[in-house]
Amino acid sequence: QVQLVESGGGVVQPGRSLRLSCAASGFAFSGYAMHWVRQAPGNGLEWVAVISSDGSNKYYGDSAKGRFTISRDNSKNTLYLQMNSLRAEDTAIYYCSRGPRGYDSHLDYWGQGMLVTVSS
Protein backbone atom coordinates (compact mmCIF):
# COMPACT_ATOMS: atom_id res chain seq x y z
CA GLN A 1 0.00 0.00 0.00
CA VAL A 2 1.07 3.57 -0.61
CA GLN A 3 2.82 5.13 2.37
CA LEU A 4 4.30 8.57 2.84
CA VAL A 5 6.13 9.25 6.09
CA GLU A 6 7.43 12.72 6.94
CA SER A 7 10.27 13.41 9.33
CA GLY A 8 12.59 16.23 10.35
CA GLY A 9 10.16 18.62 11.98
CA GLY A 10 10.42 20.27 15.37
CA VAL A 11 11.00 23.59 17.04
CA VAL A 12 13.36 26.04 15.34
CA GLN A 13 14.24 29.67 16.01
CA PRO A 14 13.24 32.40 13.59
CA GLY A 15 15.80 32.87 10.84
CA ARG A 16 17.13 29.33 11.12
CA SER A 17 16.80 26.44 8.68
CA LEU A 18 15.16 23.05 8.71
CA ARG A 19 14.91 20.18 6.24
CA LEU A 20 11.88 17.94 6.04
CA SER A 21 12.01 14.49 4.50
CA CYS A 22 9.23 12.30 3.17
CA ALA A 23 9.94 8.59 2.71
CA ALA A 24 7.73 6.96 0.09
CA SER A 25 6.87 3.30 -0.31
CA GLY A 26 4.32 1.07 -1.98
CA PHE A 27 4.44 2.73 -5.40
CA ALA A 28 6.88 3.66 -8.16
CA PHE A 29 8.10 6.90 -6.59
CA SER A 30 10.16 7.97 -9.60
CA GLY A 31 7.04 8.03 -11.76
CA TYR A 32 5.12 10.66 -9.82
CA ALA A 33 5.26 14.36 -9.18
CA MET A 34 5.28 15.12 -5.47
CA HIS A 35 3.88 18.07 -3.54
CA TRP A 36 4.22 19.74 -0.16
CA VAL A 37 1.13 21.26 1.46
CA ARG A 38 1.02 22.95 4.85
CA GLN A 39 -1.62 23.78 7.41
CA ALA A 40 -1.13 26.41 10.10
CA PRO A 41 -2.71 25.51 13.47
CA GLY A 42 -6.48 25.82 13.24
CA ASN A 43 -6.30 27.01 9.64
CA GLY A 44 -6.90 25.69 6.16
CA LEU A 45 -4.60 24.10 3.61
CA GLU A 46 -1.90 25.98 1.72
CA TRP A 47 -0.04 24.52 -1.23
CA VAL A 48 3.74 24.99 -0.86
CA ALA A 49 5.61 23.38 -3.76
CA VAL A 50 5.70 20.67 -6.41
CA ILE A 51 8.52 18.76 -8.09
CA SER A 52 8.32 16.76 -11.27
CA SER A 53 8.89 13.02 -11.29
CA ASP A 54 12.49 13.35 -12.45
CA GLY A 55 13.23 16.41 -10.34
CA SER A 56 13.91 18.68 -13.29
CA ASN A 57 11.00 21.06 -12.73
CA LYS A 58 9.93 22.75 -9.52
CA TYR A 59 7.23 25.27 -8.72
CA TYR A 60 6.53 27.16 -5.52
CA GLY A 61 3.73 29.03 -3.83
CA ASP A 62 4.34 32.68 -3.03
CA SER A 63 5.10 32.01 0.63
CA ALA A 64 7.87 29.56 -0.30
CA LYS A 65 9.55 31.37 -3.18
CA GLY A 66 13.14 32.31 -2.46
CA ARG A 67 13.26 30.58 0.93
CA PHE A 68 12.18 26.96 0.41
CA THR A 69 13.65 24.37 -1.94
CA ILE A 70 11.94 21.17 -2.92
CA SER A 71 14.07 18.24 -4.07
CA ARG A 72 13.97 14.49 -4.36
CA ASP A 73 16.23 11.47 -4.47
CA ASN A 74 14.58 8.80 -6.56
CA SER A 75 17.25 6.27 -5.63
CA LYS A 76 16.13 6.63 -2.01
CA ASN A 77 12.41 7.12 -2.70
CA THR A 78 12.57 10.31 -0.67
CA LEU A 79 11.21 13.82 -1.07
CA TYR A 80 12.73 16.82 0.70
CA LEU A 81 11.81 20.36 1.64
CA GLN A 82 14.67 22.64 2.63
CA MET A 83 13.30 25.62 4.54
CA ASN A 84 15.56 28.62 5.14
CA SER A 85 15.02 31.96 6.87
CA LEU A 86 12.09 30.55 8.78
CA ARG A 87 9.46 32.90 10.17
CA ALA A 88 6.81 32.52 12.84
CA GLU A 89 4.18 32.35 10.10
CA ASP A 90 5.82 29.20 8.74
CA THR A 91 4.59 27.37 11.82
CA ALA A 92 2.39 24.61 10.45
CA ILE A 93 1.91 20.93 9.85
CA TYR A 94 3.68 20.04 6.62
CA TYR A 95 2.27 17.24 4.50
CA CYS A 96 3.88 15.52 1.55
CA SER A 97 1.48 14.22 -1.05
CA ARG A 98 1.42 12.48 -4.38
CA GLY A 99 0.18 14.10 -7.56
CA PRO A 100 -0.93 11.41 -9.99
CA ARG A 101 -1.44 13.97 -12.76
CA GLY A 102 1.87 15.74 -12.33
CA TYR A 103 2.13 19.42 -11.48
CA ASP A 104 -1.51 20.24 -12.05
CA SER A 105 -2.97 17.45 -10.04
CA HIS A 106 -5.28 16.41 -7.32
CA LEU A 107 -3.45 14.81 -4.41
CA ASP A 108 -4.39 11.20 -3.94
CA TYR A 109 -2.17 10.12 -1.05
CA TRP A 110 -0.92 12.16 1.89
CA GLY A 111 1.56 11.61 4.67
CA GLN A 112 0.52 11.94 8.29
CA GLY A 113 2.11 15.36 8.50
CA MET A 114 5.04 16.85 10.41
CA LEU A 115 4.74 19.81 12.75
CA VAL A 116 7.21 22.65 12.34
CA THR A 117 7.17 25.30 15.06
CA VAL A 118 9.12 28.51 14.51
CA SER A 119 9.61 30.21 17.84
CA SER A 120 12.31 31.84 19.90
Partner 1 sequence: EIVLTQSPGTLSLSPGERATLSCRASQSVDSSYFAWYQQKPGQAPRLLIYGASSRATGIPDRFSGSGSGTDFTLSISRLEPEDFAVYYCQQYGRSPVTFGGGTKVEIK
Q: Name the 3-class secondary structure at 24.
A: strand
Residue 3 or 85 having the CB closest to partner 1:
3
Does the protein bind partner 1 through residue 113 (CB under 8 A)?
A: yes
Does the protein bind partner 1 through residue 61 (CB under 8 A)?
A: yes
Question: What does the H/E/C string look like for 55-117?
Answer: CCCEEECCCCCCCEEEEEECCCCEEEEEECCCCHHHCEEEEEEEECCCCCCCCCEECCCEEEE
Does the protein bind partner 1 through residue 95 (CB under 8 A)?
A: yes
Does the protein bind partner 1 through residue 52 (CB under 8 A)?
A: no
Bridge partners (DSSP) of residue 72 are: 79
Residue range at the interface with partner 1 (CB under 8 A); choices 24-32, 69-77, 83-91, 95-103: 95-103
Task: Give residues in contact with partner 1 (CB under 8 A).
Answer: 35, 37, 44-47, 50, 59, 61-62, 95, 101, 103-113
